[in-house]
Structure 1
Amino acid sequence: MVPGTRLLLNPGRDDDGSAQIVLSPEPSSDPDDPLNWSTARKTLSFLVVNIYSFMVAVVALSTAVTYGALIAEFGTTAEYLNVGTAVSILFIGMGNIIWNPMALRYGRRPVYMLSCLLTGVAQVIAATAEE
Structure 2
Amino acid sequence: MGNHDFALRPFPTNDPKAPLRWPSGLKLVAIMVTSFANFVSNMGGAGISVAIRLLIQECRKSRSGATQVLTLNFLFLSIGNIFWVPVAMKFGKRTALLSSTALQTGMFAWTAAAGSFHSLLAARCLQGFAAAAGESIVPEIVADTTFVHRRGAMMSIYILLISGGSAIGPLIAGFMTTELADTWRSFMWLCCGVGGLNFFLIFFLYPESNFTRPELELTTDELEMMRNRESFKANENIPQEELCEDVKAAPSTKSDYTTHKPSFREIIPLVSYNTDVNFLKVMFEPLKLLIHPSIWRGISHTP
- Say if 1:27 and 1:46 are closer, same or farther in 2 by CA, change over 3 A: farther
Note the C-alpha offset of 1:55.
1.8
Query: Over the residues paired in the alignment, what is the CA RMSD in angstroms?
Result: 1.8
- The equivalent residue for 2:41 is 56
- The equivalent residue for 1:70 is 55
- The equivalent residue for 1:13 is none
- The equivalent residue for 2:83 is 98
Instruction: Give yes or no for contact 1:27–1:35 (8 Å, CA) kept in 2.
Output: no
TM-score (ref. length: structure 2)? 0.34
- The equivalent residue for 1:128 is 113
* Structure with more strand by fraction: 1
1:29 aligns with 2:16: yes
Q: Deviations over 1:53-80 (max 9, x none)?
A: 1221221122221212333333333212
Note the C-alpha offset of 1:107.
0.9
Percent of aligned positions that are identical? 22
Amino acid at match of 2:77: I
**Which structure is richer in relative contact order (CA contacts within 8 A, separation 6 or more)?**
2
- The equivalent residue for 1:18 is none
* Structure with more helix by fraction: 2
Deviates more, 1:66-75 or 1:112-121: 66-75
Q: Deviations over 1:17-76 (max 9, x none)?
A: xxxxx42xx24235xx42232211111111111111122122112222121233333333
Name the CA distance, whole Å, in 2 between partners of 1:27 and 1:53: 33
TM-score (ref. length: structure 1)? 0.73
Note the C-alpha offset of 1:123.
0.7
Unaligned stretches of 5+ residues in structure 1 = 7-21
- The equivalent residue for 2:98 is 113
Name the CA distance, whole Å, in 2 between partners of 1:38 and 1:58: 30
- The equivalent residue for 1:88 is 73
Bigger-Rg structure (1/2): 2
* SS of alignment partner, residue 28 of structure 1: coil
Name the CA distance, whole Å, in 2 between partners of 1:59 and 1:27: 42
Unaligned stretches of 5+ residues in structure 2 = 1-6, 117-303
Amino acid at match of 2:72: V
